[in-house]
Structure 1
Amino acid sequence: MSIEKKYLKTKNICKVTFHLPAGAASGAETAFLVGEFNDWAMHTLPMKRLKDGSFKLTIDLPSGTTYQFRYLLDDDRWENDWSADSYCYSEYGNCENSVVEV
């Protein structure tokens, strides 16, 4: 898993690419990026499935912020990004969320 960040020089925006490798996706047909940046809406940020079975998505996030997030696979399985900047417990207390800092 990886997170790539590209900061724009002219705007206070960071282009963040989230990549879920095929091994972590475990044969999933669909993957969605879900987090604070989309109010935890489960189906608003679909990730593109690549030929090798991995998933990728790039979104713009305001610089100077942190966001909790997770990946939703096949609408029934949650996965963290183990290359996230940090982790924190969910407000529901039953899992850890990945954190990206931009």
Structure 2
Amino acid sequence: MAIKKQFLKSKPVCKVTFTVPAKEAKEVLVVGNWNNWDAKAEPLQKLKNGTFKGTVNLESGNSYEFKYVVDGQWQNEEQADAFVWNEFAASDNSVINL
């Protein structure tokens, strides 16, 4: 898994590209507090090599909590900037700092 950040000079926006290797998966989503944890808001596209990839525009200067949903299973990003405990889910959430 990987995260790539591209900060725009013209706007206070960061293009965040999420990449998840999941050859056997049928569907991978990225959900977080920027999209109210809506599991259908940010589907990642499956590439020919079996990797899922997608880009989300997020406001710079903020931190966001998120997780991946791989075929219905919630997973964290191993390379996240931080992790924070989520009482509701009784597990950690990944954090990205922009």
Interval of TM-score (by shorter of Structure 1 and Structure 2): over 0.9
Query: Higher strand proportion, which one?
Result: 2
1:32 and 2:23 are equivalent in the alignment: no
TM-score, normalising length from structure 2? 0.94
Secondary structure, counterpart of 1:64 in structure 2: coil
Partner of 1:6: 6
- Determine if contact 2:86/2:93 at 8 Å carries over to the other structure: yes
Aligned-partner Cα distance in 1 for 2:31–2:89: 17
Count of aligned positions: 98
Q: Deviations for 1:32-75, whole angstroms, at most 9, x for unmatched residues?
A: 1110010001111110011111111101100000000001111x
Partner of 2:84: 88
Secondary structure, counterpart of 2:9 in structure 1: coil
Question: 42-51 or 88-97: which moved more?
Answer: 88-97
Q: Deviations for 1:2-50, whole angstroms, at most 9, x for unmatched residues?
A: 11001111110000001112xxx36111011110010001111110011
Amino acid at match of 2:9: K
1:48 and 2:48 are equivalent in the alignment: no
Aligned-partner Cα distance in 1 for 2:94–2:23: 19
Structural RMSD (CA): 1.1
| Unpaired segments ≥5 residues, structure 1 | none
TM-score, normalising length from structure 1? 0.90
Amino acid at match of 1:39: N
- Determine if contact 2:23/2:49 at 8 Å carries over to the other structure: no
